[in-house]
């Protein structure tokens, strides 16, 4: 196990664990970005609306993998969800996440 995987965990393994447990992919990009290409079956809630939709997200009763264009917004969304008791991991950029799925 490398030093960084020891510190931060292996993202690919975590994503596999989440997908094995039927996780929801939550894309937090803008509507225009999402409409230009997205992971099939993903849910779309722009980052600015995540806090307001916490109850809706909790109702999914599933772990969540957040994604965006680069991983910055999805990291912010993951923090919001985590602070509200939702099991979440930041999947990073949607294109690289899609390749891991």
How far apart (Å, rounded) are the C-alpha atoms in residues 32 and 46? Answer: 10
Is 8's pLDDT higher than 80?
no
Q: pLDDT value at position 13?
A: 87
Sorted by where each begins, the domain ranges of the chain are 10-100
Instruction: Please tell me the pTM assigned to this model.
Output: 0.89
Q: pLDDT value at position 9?
A: 54
The CATH number assigned to the domain with range 10-100 reads 3.40.250.10
Looking up tokens 């447990």 gives 21
The model's pLDDT over 66-95, given as tens digits with 9 standing for 90+, comes to 999 999 999 999 999 999 999 999 999 999
The model's pLDDT over 28-62, given as tens digits with 9 standing for 90+, comes to 999 999 999 999 999 999 999 999 999 999 999 99
Is 11's pLDDT higher than 80?
no
How far apart (Å, rounded) are the C-alpha atoms in residues 27 and 68? Answer: 6
């Amino acid at each position: 196990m490398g030093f960084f995987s020891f510190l931060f965990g292996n993202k690919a393994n975590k994503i596999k664990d989440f997908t094995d447990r039927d996780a929801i992919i939550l894309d937090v990009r803008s509507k225009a970005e999402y409409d230009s290409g997205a992971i099939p079956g993903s849910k779309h809630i722009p980052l600015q609306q995540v806090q307001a939709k916490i109850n809706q997200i909790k109702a999914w009763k599933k772990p969540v993998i957040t994604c965006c264009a680069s991983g910055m917004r999805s990291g912010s969304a993951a923090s919001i969800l985590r602070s509200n008791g939702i099991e979440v991991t930041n999947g990073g950029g949607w294109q690289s996440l899609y390749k891991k799925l």
